[in-house]
């Protein structure tokens, strides 16, 4: 699967060489690469003088090609090389115990490949893992940039949640670390998925640039939504609240807020319950499904609720149809860090959310008037918000068209364009 840069066709003039370092395989890592490479091939296709903007090498683990073979095959071009880490290098990362050792091991690999491939610029696909070596002023053989996913140092001021002294110490330490990393001459640009953190670190956007967290939102036909509603057996006359996600394992069960949601439903009045339907959809372990079935049966014996469970993997088109059939999208996450794809999907469908008031999600819901943000760890507060939606509908300041515009702005083209325009601009200018 590895295509060495030397095999690329000769050009009349040398092309700069950009390296994307992505040693991770699971989660959403492939999605971010997909967005970047889609834009890259489009840039290459549109090149007016016949020259692509640069040579591109993607350094990743062999398991990436095994799990995402379609993606690797789809992105094939003379100036795009897939370079696989050696098995012993993957072991080197896995055997690094503790955050410090793991961070240094990843950095050594990134530098090794930037040197070996004679890269002119290196994009660290998950810069969070490289903060420590950058803060320690470890130098790279070329300028590096990175995508910063999970800043939390600003969360206390962002939402008004009072931090404990341990949380304040952690926030101070995180901010000191990232500011020290930004002082490293090798770090050219930090692409931050949190607009508030980007503003805090660099108000003028000279070194820290906000990029939208991309979410694919396929178009949905009304007939598809109606057919799905009939298939799920959702009763008319009820407000449909959707909770979508990956619920596999107790950690995900807790983080997604399933327990406080079930407790909140038990606090609804019979009048409100009669007008309420809850749809839970997403991957579940058999034990989770059994536990949920038991809890739902107990609830529905007490109150005239409708609760529909749709376990399992769903294709993208069907997922977005769920957001269109919902009246309200639930995001009752517990101490969630970072962005939420469900928030973007709900907004793109023109649906209000009932979300946690903590962190980035809570701040975005408030600023962009995307619904209600409440303390979702408190079943009474969550129950009151559910009842408010049933009785009063969406908040008066919620505007579906405004929400749609905000949601649809989080597309892969915007994400990739902002990253490549900054990096390629530096390469074209010959910036160090």
How many Cβ atoms are within 10 Å of 93's Cβ, its own excluded?
18
How many Cβ atoms are within 10 Å of 70's Cβ, its own excluded?
9
**Architecture of the domain delimited by 5-214+411-429:** 3-Layer(aba) Sandwich (3.40)
Taking 60 as the threshold, does the pLDDT of residue 12 lie above it? no
Taking 60 as the threshold, does the pLDDT of residue 1 lie above it? no
pLDDT of residue 204: 93
CA 137 → CA 131, 134, 140, 186, distances in Å? 10, 5, 9, 8
CA dist 226 and 228 (Å) reads 5
Confidence band, pLDDT 50/70/90 cuts, at residue 13: low
Taking 60 as the threshold, does the pLDDT of residue 43 lie above it? yes
Confidence band, pLDDT 50/70/90 cuts, at residue 7: very low
CA dist 323 and 220 (Å) reads 10
Q: Using an 8 Å Cβ cutoff, are 122 and 152 in contact? A: no
CA dist 251 and 50 (Å) reads 51
Span(s) in the chain for CATH 3.40.50.2000:
5-214+411-429, 222-408
Q: CA Rg, the chain, in Å?
A: 23
pLDDT of residue 432: 57
Better-scored residue on pLDDT, 13 or 88: 88
Q: Could you report how far apart the first and last alpha carbons of the chain are, in Å?
A: 31
How many Cβ atoms are within 10 Å of 412's Cβ, its own excluded?
19
Kindly report the CATH class assigned to 222-408: alpha beta
- Least confident span in 26-30, 378-382, 428-432: 428-432
Taking 70 as the threshold, does the pLDDT of residue 203 lie above it? yes
Secondary structure letter of residue 129 according to DSSP: G
Better-scored residue on pLDDT, 317 or 395: 395
pLDDT of residue 51: 66
CA dist 365 and 391 (Å) reads 21
Task: Please state the pTM of the whole predicted model.
Answer: 0.91
- Least confident span in 11-20, 333-342, 363-372, 374-383: 11-20
Taking 50 as the threshold, does the pLDDT of residue 193 lie above it? yes
Mean pLDDT throughout 172-201? 97
- Average pLDDT across the chain, whole number: 91
Confidence band, pLDDT 50/70/90 cuts, at residue 6: very low
């Amino acid at each position: 699967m590895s295509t060495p840069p030397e095999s690329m066709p000769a050009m009349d003039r040398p092309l700069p060489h950009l390296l994307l370092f992505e040693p991770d395989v699971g989660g959403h890592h492939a999605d971010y690469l997909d967005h970047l490479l889609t834009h890259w091939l489009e840039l290459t296709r549109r090149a007016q003088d016949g020259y692509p903007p640069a040579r591109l090498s993607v350094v990743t683990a062999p398991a990436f090609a095994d799990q995402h073979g379609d993606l690797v095959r789809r992105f094939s071009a003379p100036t795009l090389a897939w370079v696989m880490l050696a098995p012993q290098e993957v072991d080197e990362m896995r055997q690094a115990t503790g955050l410090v050792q793991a961070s240094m091991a990843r950095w050594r690999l990134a530098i090794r490949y930037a040197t070996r491939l004679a890269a002119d610029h290196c994009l660290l696909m998950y810069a969070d893992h490289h903060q420590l070596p950058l803060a320690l002023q470890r130098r790279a053989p070329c300028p590096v940039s990175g995508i910063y996913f999970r800043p939390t140092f600003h969360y206390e001021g962002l939402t008004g949640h009072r931090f404990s002294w341990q949380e304040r110490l952690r926030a101070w330490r995180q901010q000191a670390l990232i500011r020290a990393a930004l002082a490293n001459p090798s770090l050219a640009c930090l692409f931050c998925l949190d607009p508030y953190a980007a503003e805090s670190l660099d108000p003028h956007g000279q070194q820290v640039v906000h990029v939208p967290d991309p979410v694919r939102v396929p178009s949905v036909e009304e007939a598809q939504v109606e057919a799905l509603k009939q298939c799920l057996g959702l009763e008319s006359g009820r407000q449909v609240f959707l909770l979508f996600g990956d619920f596999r394992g107790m950690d995900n069960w807790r983080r997604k807020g399933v327990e406080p949601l079930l407790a909140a439903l038990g606090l609804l009045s019979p009048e409100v319950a009669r007008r309420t339907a809850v749809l839970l959809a997403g991957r579940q372990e058999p034990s989770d499904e059994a536990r949920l079935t038991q809890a739902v049966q107990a609830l529905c014996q007490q109150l005239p609720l409708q609760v529909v469970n749709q376990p399992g993997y769903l294709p993208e088109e069907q997922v977005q149809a769920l957001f269109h059939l919902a009246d309200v999208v639930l995001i009752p996450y517990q101490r969630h860090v970072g962005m939420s794809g469900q928030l973007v999907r709900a907004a793109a469908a023109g649906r209000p959310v009932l979300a946690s008031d903590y962190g980035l999600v809570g701040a975005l819901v408030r600023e962009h008037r995307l619904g209600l943000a409440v303390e979702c760890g408190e079943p009474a507060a969550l129950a009151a918000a559910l009842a408010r939606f049933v009785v009063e509908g969406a908040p008066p300041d919620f505007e579906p068209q405004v929400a749609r515009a905000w949601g649809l702005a989080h597309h892969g083209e915007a994400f990739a364009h902002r990253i490549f325009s900054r990096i390629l601009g530096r390469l074209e200018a010959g910036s160090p």
